[in-house]
Structure 1
Amino acid sequence: MLEIGVQNGGSLEIWSRYFSNATIVVGCDINPKCSALSFSDGRIVLVVGDANLDETEQTIAAYCQELDIIIDDGSHESADIIASFARYFHRLSDGGIFIAEDLHCSYWERFGGGLYDPYSSISFFKRLLDIINSEHWGLSLSRRDALAAFEKKYKLRFEEELLSSIHSIEFANSLCIIRKRPANENVLGPRRVVGIQAAVEEDVLNSDGKRSEPKDESGNRWAFLSVPLEEEIERCRSLSALSQSEYENNVDQVQMMNEESVLKDHVIKLELELERKISTVTKLEREIELAKNVRNEFDTLLSGYKKHIDLLLEELKVRENCALSKEREESKVRKSEENFLQEKLHATEQRLQERFSEIAMASRLLREQEEQNTWLRLVIGAIIGDSRRGRLIDMLPGPLAMALRRRQLRRRGLFDPGAYHRANPDVAKAGGDPLRHYILHGLNEHRRTR
């Protein structure tokens, strides 16, 4: 915190005890005797000098750039109080407070004031009430315009940013407390209308989400005065104090005074307009400079990004080439493996086909062998028959026994000697028993029996 005007320093000790968590308590006094003051609390710092001089402000800022509380308890003169506000309010943190003490002095002439003094400190703080409500003026004026007379009177400058951060003003006996908040928290937000029925004023439903927009008040004769109202009243009082005779004798002088007043008003308006233009130009120049800096930073970043992208593209190309080369190699290996597997599969299929053929042939031979064995068993059974019949046939003469056996084979369809001879003329020509020939030779030679 900062206290302007410490006298014997007792208040600084009180603040350090009351604000036990404070990091630094700065006191400032113009009286050189204050340099002899000492404090046991190391958080208390004393700056000796005029608080409204640049070098003193720089010394204070060296201890603390941003402040939470500022108390003006200095000379109590209106000029100093207003100047201290213009100089230090911007150093307040958001949520911080500025306190002007002993404002009862603003009603005394020796402190630069009076009950209706338009330039007293209390009149200045009253005017700040209008600053808080600037969005409702209905005029194309800045906040600074409302303080133009004070700027001219005390040769000060109130920045628009500083004025937009005033959140609230509270008056108490001899005190004014001003709170600072971010500019966006010091204006009315859009209206919020809930519900869907409006039996009395239906148009209110259409105002949901809209901001308050005042009508143009530029034609209102009370909307703007080039000089404070009190000063205008004093000028009129001075004019009305002239007697009628004096007025008649001094018509030219009165007319000159009126013309001078009109000219003065016009000059003030032109000065205000010039100030606004200069402020606008300055603001635009700052924005242009900022835009140039942003553009330069952007160009630098863009150049860096382009280089980075080029490197990434080059690396990506190298990786892509490596990947393509690796893919080609892998493709060759896969193709070689596929050819090898195809050849191996073809050879395996051929071997399987050969095995299948061998198995089929073996199965056919086995089936033929089984058929032959079955035929032989049937033939043997037909020839031998049961033991009694076989013995009876064996008792017959050889040619007759053989004829009976052939007849029995032919009747059972097992073997026809005549058909065998017809199917195999070489056997008939050679002579001999056909059944014997077939059993001993014909089976192996695969001769036909019919």
Structure 2
Amino acid sequence: MTLPTSLFEPPAPLAERLRPRTVAEVVGQPHLLGPGKPLTRVLESGRLGSLILWGPPGVGKTTLARLLAGEVGAHFIALSAVSAGVKDVRDAVTEAERERGRGRRTALFLDEIHRFNKAQQDALLPHVESGLLTLIGATTENPSFEVNPALRSRARTLVLHPLTHEDLLGLLGRALSDERGLPGVGAEPAALNLLARLADGDARRALSTLEVAAALADPVTEAAVTEAFGQHLPAMDKGGEDFYNLISALHKSVRGSHPDAALYWLARMIEGGADSRYVARRIVRMASEDIGLADPQALRLAVAAQDSAEFLGSPEGDLALAQAVVYLALAPKSNSVYVAWKNALNAVREGETLPVPVHLRNAPTALLRQQGYGQSYAYYFDDPAGSFAQNYLPDGVRLDLYQPTGEGWEAKVAERWRKLMQAHGELEE
């Protein structure tokens, strides 16, 4: 095991000690580093353009930035958008100008570039555009949403993937054999498999946990890995792309009538720390959008689950959300009301604003009644036939907004709708 250089200077973390020294040592990302792939071509050409590296934590964004700059002989400046500001950018520009005077280009690595606001990102633009700075931005968030279009257009976006199980096993094996890692420490194969699974594709998490587990047991056991990991919380960036991808997966699993998948995605969200109130609101939405009148009880159950989640909180209220999700997944499906509502909105937004027919207008005063408001209105309970004969839309307007399906309870609705349209004279007998 690597020892401190002095009694007062502890060794660097294992993940830092094992940081690749060459591109050949990089684990994973074969779609970028394989033969003929984008970064391989960059290295072969010796010309490094501005890049945005987008991927989850612990997949090598910082390492790749350093190695790429080193391979093409560029001066490397590293900033973190969490703590850096416009002044730091100006200092980097000054340093880059000094290096240019020496005949050397500068690569500016900006970690978590999505944390820079518009003004800070704009401060980089002229220097990236002029070529003074070769920008390498790293982000865990979708650059389409978090990076200014002007800056994004001047950089090539490359997507980094989570490391595979095999990638992580290879990395853990290197950690146990490399002199910079934990040489001499043993580990049970089952323990390494467990660690690779729990790491969720994150190399830094895998190595950090291995380092703690090695301090607990030698050889490293499954029990030591479990203890070192603590409670395993699935990765989820609250409010970020992962969050909305999980919501999308939950909604589509409910719509697709797959209760097991729906429960899995719900559990991923809850265990990842999602606000159960937001999840509950989305479940209520599903009840109206995808079940609708095929099962009118679905909305009532979803609202009850929302109330329960609010009243009980987590974890007690989570069971009500699970009950609602299973019910909605198993329920017959209809989006007829959802489609009808969209059609109604489009009719209002795209059509001209027509007056309410006089016989349908409110007539609370004698003056309005003298103007004819409400006259000739056929009250259904007094005159059913007349009620169906009168027009309920502006003159000359015909709309076909609602089309019931034959699913569940809406099959009965469809038959009544057909008879009503015939009574209104809008369908032939």
Q: TM-score, normalised by structure 2?
A: 0.22
Larger relative CO (CA 8 A, sep 6+): 1 or 2? 2
Q: TM-score, normalised by structure 1?
A: 0.22
Q: Flag the structure with larger Rg.
A: 1
Higher helix fraction (1 or 2): 1
